[in-house]
Amino acid sequence: MERALYELNRFDNDITACYFEPQNMAAGANAGAWLGMANYDRAMFIIQGGDCKNIGDQLDAAVMQATDNAGGGVKAVAGKAITTRTSTATNQNDLWFIHVDVSELDVDGGYAFIQLVITVSATDTWYISVVCQRESRVFEPVPRTNVREVIN
């Protein structure tokens, strides 16, 4: 007889896949979509930096916050940025992570939306893709247990 326990229907995360689809980001600021954080505790931006045009190309990234999904009252989230990264080769293939907790937003001021802005230095391009994963603080009630025992 084989016994196993399986967790049933547990999905507490929301993955916003391809926040930025893999693309050559042109020089200047490249802003993503605004993501609502009202029902989430935290978010993680996972940035993959691939090939760039030249050795010495530079990249910055910053998380912005706003009061609505149109960017009202936009301002930076303190301490949530990647300061200038300079390429040392044209095939970088680096990963950068930015973790944002809701407590770091100005929630008292009505700020409930976040956005990632990636800035590439002038005349350069950098092949970038970004995934964002938000973690929920809203859990569905589970009667007694969410584990099922299977006996074979």
Tens digit of each residue's pLDDT (9 = 90 or more) over 102-150: 999 999 999 999 999 999 886 667 888 888 888 776 555 555 555 555 6
Asked if the model's pLDDT at residue 2 lies above 70, the reply is no
Q: Is position 58 within any domain? A: yes
The pLDDT score that the predictor gives to residue 22 is 79
Range of the domain at 122: 3-137
Pairwise CA distance, residues 83 & 62, whole Å: 8
Pairwise CA distance, residues 114 & 72, whole Å: 11
Q: Is position 152 within any domain? A: no
Q: Is position 145 within any domain? A: no
Q: Is position 50 within any domain? A: yes
Pairwise CA distance, residues 10 & 70, whole Å: 32
The pLDDT score that the predictor gives to residue 77 is 97
Average pLDDT of span 41-55? 85
| Number of domains composing the chain | 1
| Alpha-carbon 136 to chain mean position | 14
Q: Is position 39 within any domain? A: yes
pLDDT in tens, 59-93: 899 999 999 999 999 999 999 999 998 888 777 78
The H or E element containing residue 41 is strand 40-52
CATH number at residue 11: 2.60.120.20
**Is residue 19 within 8 Å of residue 33, measured between CB atoms?**
yes
Asked if the model's pLDDT at residue 12 lies above 90, the reply is no
Q: Is position 149 within any domain? A: no
Confidence of residue 152 (pLDDT cuts 50, 70, 90): low
Residue partners of 24: CB distance under 8 A and separation at least 6: 125, 126, 127
Q: Is position 147 within any domain? A: no
